[in-house]
A and B are shown apart, each in its own frame.
Chain A
Amino acid sequence: MSLTLTTDRTGYPMIRSDALGVFVHWLPVTKLQLEWFLCDQPSNRFNQEWYERILGVHKSDPGRVSAALVTDRTYYRALATGLTPGEVEPFANWLARGDGGQYELPTHKEWKILYDEFAAALPIELSYVTGLTDGAGKPRLTARTRALVERMNQTAMRLPGLGSRGAAAATPSLADQMLMRNGVMEWVQWRAADRHQDFGGRGYPYHDLVNNRRDFTLEAGPHDPGPRYADTDSRLRGYGFRLIRRS
């Protein structure tokens, strides 16, 4: 596969999928990206109270972690979890206003194609990702973003249970590097039913679930999570998302 990278308007990296011809977020969307969005909102829907609810989905844990404190046991707190699919959409639209692209959740079929493509590839040198520059040669990633991407990468590459290129393989894949397996459950679209579905892998503390659930790529249809979670306040702490940019 070729290696083409870019960033979204928050300065977070995206990688191009040759199979789909789209860009996809390098990692599940992080709280830092979400905070950029929140700082740019004219409405009061996403206010202090709302964000405290998002941070509160982890209940006993602090809901947020700084890059310096990202470890195997804390990394999931850096990811934007607990949003409903209905709340993802305004974020996607805001990203679109930054560069004119069309941002949305991948469909369940697209997610599977992305996973298969990246699971078949070896990890890449992270400096290609963190060293992205704009036309004037200025870094596209802020210091904070770069630090978080690097720490998440260190974590992703040493998580237990790696080997998505085969049950017995120990070599991590690009999909592992992108936390497509050991990250969080990710919302996807189930277009035919206009509903949402979960996809992807669950990281710590969900390893047992992953290991016991050999069909985590979910070839079957949705198990009806959509309407229940689309626009309600039902927040799932293990559920995050990554977006694709279609143009």
Chain B
Amino acid sequence: MASYQTAAATEANVVTGDDRGSTRGTQQQLFRVNDLGAYGDVTVYYTGQRLPEAHPGQTPPTEAARDPRPRFVGPILDALERDGCDWWVVVLANGPVFDLPDFSIDLDAAGPSRWERRLLLVRTDPKPDDESWSPLVFRYRDADAPEVVVRPLVRLFPPPPLTRGSRCP
């Protein structure tokens, strides 16, 4: 059992550079998701799809989903919150994520959201046209190596990263 729970929400048709819409783009993104495995159990979701596409230990899909869903992650994050686990989340998107602003403020505490330091938004579109998530945004470029996506997330983990016990089964 790894110490940390990580979720990755990825668009089925995520693209990089000129590779728009191709299966190769999806494979590249999921390879990066696999890189997270060294840091804990990884559950993979498609954006706009509440049920996991790959549970911890399963190989993430390498093909684009047939029916891409609307680009939002709220129901996924709501479900993770209900679990009460320590989750860190990477969201890979090639456009604005409609409902990320819902998580930027904790209205109960009238302060920053608990997701502020736990959710990394990775935008793969060449010219992101909005700031749906201001706390942690990484703009991925074609020539970037996969590790550059993982590093910002790993920096979120409180040190030492693999010694804290999981609160989840």
A-side interface residues toward B, CB under 8 Å? 32, 35-36, 38-41, 43-44, 46-48, 50-52, 55, 64, 66-69, 138, 142-144, 146-147, 150-151
Contact = CB atoms under 8 A, between A and B. Distances in A.
A36 B50 contact: yes
Contacts of A43: 67
Interface in B21-52: 48-51
Contacts of A150: 107
Nearest to A139: B82
Interface residues of B, number: 27
A68 B66 contact: no
A48 B70 contact: yes
Interface of B: 48-51, 66-72, 74-76, 78, 81-82, 98-99, 101-108
Given A36-B50, A40-B50, A66-B101, A151 B107 contact: yes
A143 B108 CA distance: 8
Contact of A36 (B51, B68, B75): B75
A48 B68 contact: yes
B72 A39 contact: yes
Nearest to A63: B98
B111 to A, nearest CB: 11
Nearest to B48: A39
Contacts of A35: 70, 72, 74-75, 98-99
B105 A48 contact: no
Contacts of A41: 69
A55 B98 contact: yes
Contacts of A144: 74, 78, 102-103
A68 B104 contact: yes
Main secondary structure of the interface of A (DSSP, over half): helix
Contacts of A46: 70
Contacts of B101: 66, 68-69
B80 to A, nearest CB: 11
A172 B51 CA distance: 42
B68 A68 contact: no
A51 B70 contact: yes
18 contacts: A32-B102, A38-B70, A38-B72, A39-B48, A40-B75, A43-B67, A47-B67, A47-B68, A48-B48, A48-B70, A51-B70, A67-B107, A69-B101, A142-B82, A143-B108, A144-B102, A146-B108, A147-B108
B81 A142 contact: yes
Contacts of B102: 32, 66-67, 144
Given A39-B50, A55-B98, A143 B66 contact: no
Contacts of B98: 35, 51, 55, 64
